């Protein structure tokens, strides 16, 4: 095999893991998007049932209130990872925008480290909370509190993945450091 053929074979051998990772990431993101849409629908329907129960039938549906609360918890926590993916989190970038690009990227190292450390703390705390949730049930739905509590470690892990990808893209120079006040401008 000549040098060019060996180079192409080497690239092909290392390209499939990258394609597999990209496909898995796309699948995970679609799953999160679908879950977020489903949670919003569940929350809206549960609140609508509660309103109808109260004002039309003069009867309060405690299960609907609890279901809406749990759906909202999951939606907010998973939505934080989605917001990271879309770079929608509020940020103050005045200083960063005044710095030379290389210095601004280097400044992202401690920022990324602090964010990922915080998400690790949330992840660990969520795992500890699961131990408590294993012995508790919710008041109205009578489900294990592990179901709402598992939102913490799951969402922290997803948020950390999206944060690592976002910070990695900035650190490697693939994405700009600043996005215009944390709001998408595209």
What would you report as the CA-atom Rg of the chain, rounded to the nearest whole angstrom? 22
**Residue 178 forms part of a structural domain:** no
Asked if 93 and 99 count as a contact pair (C-beta separation under 8 A), the reply is no
**Residue 183 forms part of a structural domain:** no
pLDDT of residue 89: 85
Domain total in the chain: 1
- DSSP type of residue 58: S
Cα dihedral across residues 78, 80, 81, 82: positive or negative: positive
**Residue 78 forms part of a structural domain:** yes
Q: For the chain, how many helices (H) and strands (E)?
A: 6, 0
Rounded mean pLDDT for each run of 10 residues along the chain, 186 residues in total: 55 77 96 98 97 93 95 97 90 82 91 96 97 96 97 98 94 79 48
State the pTM of this model: 0.87
Asked if 60 and 53 count as a contact pair (C-beta separation under 8 A), the reply is yes
**Residue 68 forms part of a structural domain:** yes
Rounded (to 5) percent helix, strand, coil in the chain: 75, 0, 25
Rounded Cα gap, residues 185 and 117, in angstroms: 29
**Residue 131 forms part of a structural domain:** yes
**Residue 180 forms part of a structural domain:** no
Give the structural domain span for 18: 3-171
Of 177, 171, 167, residue with least CA distance to 85: 167
**Residue 42 forms part of a structural domain:** yes
pLDDT of residue 3: 57
Q: Which residues pair with 144 in a beta bridge?
A: 137
**Residue 85 forms part of a structural domain:** yes
DSSP string, 129-171: HHHHHTT-B-TTT--BTHHHHTHHHHHHHHHHHHHHHHHHHHH
Distance separating the N- and C-terminal Cα atoms of the chain: 47
């Amino acid at each position: 095999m000549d040098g060019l053929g060996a180079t192409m074979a080497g690239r092909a051998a290392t390209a499939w893991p990258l394609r597999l990772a990209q496909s898995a990431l796309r699948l995970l993101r679609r799953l999160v998007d679908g879950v977020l849409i489903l949670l919003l629908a569940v929350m809206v329907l549960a609140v609508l049932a509660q309103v109808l129960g109260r004002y039309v039938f003069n009867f309060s549906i405690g299960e609907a209130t609890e279901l809406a609360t749990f759906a909202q918890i999951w939606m907010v926590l998973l939505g934080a990872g989605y917001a990271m993916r879309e770079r929608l989190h509020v940020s103050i970038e005045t200083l960063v925008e005044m710095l030379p690009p290389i210095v601004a990227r280097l400044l992202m190292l401690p920022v990324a480290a602090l964010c990922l450390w915080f998400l690790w703390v949330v992840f660990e705390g969520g795992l500890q909370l699961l131990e408590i949730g294993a012995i508790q049930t919710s008041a109205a739905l009578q489900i294990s509190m592990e179901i709402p509590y598992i939102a913490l470690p799951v969402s922290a892990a997803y948020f950390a993945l999206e944060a690592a990808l976002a910070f990695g893209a900035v650190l490697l120079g693939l994405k700009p450091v600043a996005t215009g006040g944390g709001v998408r401008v595209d």
